[in-house]
Structure 1
Amino acid sequence: MDNAASVALSVLGASVTRPTVVLAEDHPPVAEQIREVLGGDFDVLAVVGHGEALVKAVRRLRPDAVVTDISMPGMDGMQAARELLTELPGLPVVFITVHDDPTLARAALTIGKGYVLKASAGEDLADAVRCVLDNRYFVSAALGRIEALVGTLH
């Protein structure tokens, strides 16, 4: 969280730094809901609707983490994350998706460290971002034990 994009707030005279996030989601109503979920704990610097815009926003804004839908028109979230990680190794990435497919989750977790089902985003997303910021994996509980998904990645 020592990223230059972190936003400092003054709370009762003390300085508090909130992690920053760029969000990619191609459905505006869903993007707004996710933004609200994240806004309680993080500063959402930008909301974009496709992978190309995600890459541009992250290059410009240098957030602490990225939250991206997997399925988007044009460049999808996984492609965008791969491209970003070549330039910014270690960038924390959380994928959000409707797909409760363990095979897709495994593939996503070779790129990022978080995999959250949209159905559980309200409960899981803030925790997922905190985990990836701490260099830990997070997978929605509906997909089963995290060890079963990430244990084979290393």
Structure 2
Amino acid sequence: MTRQPPDAMTPARLPKILLVDDHPAVLRQTISLLPQNYEIVETLESGFGLKAAVSQHEPDLIVLDITLPGLSGIELASRLRQSGYLTKIVFLTVHCDTDYAREAFAAGANGYVVKARLASDLVPALQAVLAGQRFISPCAELEGWDDAEP
């Protein structure tokens, strides 16, 4: 009898997603846009409890609002990185400008989705980031800035 690695005997695991946004309507919309091939492990309306949720669920990806009560999403991402968490992060934001994008990527973001483009950009962003690529919503203020960065 030939032994196969354990992963070969079990079905593929769905990517685990943790959602953080202070607007319940945005959380609902985000959930409604995700196909069934993602597992939403938890939703949070602030950064309170984020580190504990990441430790508990070990998500593959965090979808994180930038503007939150208390600590910003950028500060939360930075603290996660400083604590050694390597979980991929896609920011959701109303901010379509270069300064926020630079701050987000400096804090450890893998993706940047503008909420006005949530319906068209969310799933492609998750797919790209989970495949090890970076994603930025097309925005006039952002076009080309990352190509010029070292």
Partner of 1:19: 15
Letter in 2 for 1:77: G
Q: Which has the larger radius of gyration?
A: 2
CA apart distance, 1:90: 2.9
What secondary structure, in the 3-state scheme, does the structure 2 residue paired with 1:17 have?
Answer: coil
Partner of 2:6: none
Cα distance in 2 for partners of 1:87, 1:39 equals: 31
- Any gaps of 5 or more consecutive residues in structure 1? 1-13
Matched, 1:121 2:118: yes
Q: What percentage of residue pairs aligned between the two structures are identical?
A: 31
- Aligned ranges 1:121-140 → 2 under 5 Å: 121-140=118-137
Matched, 1:79 2:75: yes
How many corresponding residue pairs? Answer: 140
Q: Which of 59, 76, 79 lines up with 1:63 in the alignment?
A: 59
Cα distance in 2 for partners of 1:126, 1:62 equals: 20
- Any gaps of 5 or more consecutive residues in structure 2? 1-9
Q: When the two structures are superposed, what TM-score results if normalisation uses the length of structure 2?
A: 0.83
Kindly report structure 1 stretches of 4+ aligned residues shifted beyond 6 Å.
Answer: none
CA apart distance, 1:89: 4.2
CA contact (8 A) 2:18 2:63 kept: yes
CA apart distance, 1:102: 1.3
Q: When the two structures are superposed, what TM-score results if normalisation uses the length of structure 1?
A: 0.81
Cα distance in 2 for partners of 1:102, 1:43 equals: 31
Cα distance in 1 for partners of 2:84, 2:41 equals: 17
